[in-house]
C-alpha cells in the first residue's frame, strides 16, 4: 500500500476511512504528502472536532469493476 503504517487496533477517539480503488487511488507515482489519502486525512484532522481521523489507502493497480 502507498500509505503509512496503521496499528491493527485503532485508538478509541479515531475514525478510520478505507479508500478502495485502482491505480488512481494507489497513486504510486505521487509523493505521499500529495495523495488524495493524505490530503483528506490532513483536512479532516485540521477540523476542531476533537476526533482524529486515519485514512487508509488500499488502491490496487488494474483493479476495476467487472464488465459484461
Query: Over the stretch 5-61, which tens digit does the pLDDT of each residue have?
Result: 777 788 888 999 998 888 777 877 888 888 888 999 999 999 887 789 999 888 877
DSSP state of 55: E
Judged on CB neighbours under 10 Å (0-12, 13-18, 19+), 36 is middle
| Residue 19 contacts residue 56 (beta carbons within 8 Å) | yes
Q: DSSP string spanning 3-17? A: S----SSPPTTEEEE
End-to-end CA distance of the chain: 29
Global pTM reads 0.75
SS3 52: strand
Amino acid at each position: 500500500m502507498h500509505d503509512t503504517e496503521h496499528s491493527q487496533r485503532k485508538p478509541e477517539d479515531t475514525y478510520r476511512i478505507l479508500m478502495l480503488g485502482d491505480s488512481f487511488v494507489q497513486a504510486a507515482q505521487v509523493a505521499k504528502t500529495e495523495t488524495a489519502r493524505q490530503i483528506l486525512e490532513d483536512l479532516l484532522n485540521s477540523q476542531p472536532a476533537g476526533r482524529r481521523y486515519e485514512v487508509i489507502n488500499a488502491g490496487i493497480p488494474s483493479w476495476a469493476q467487472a464488465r459484461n
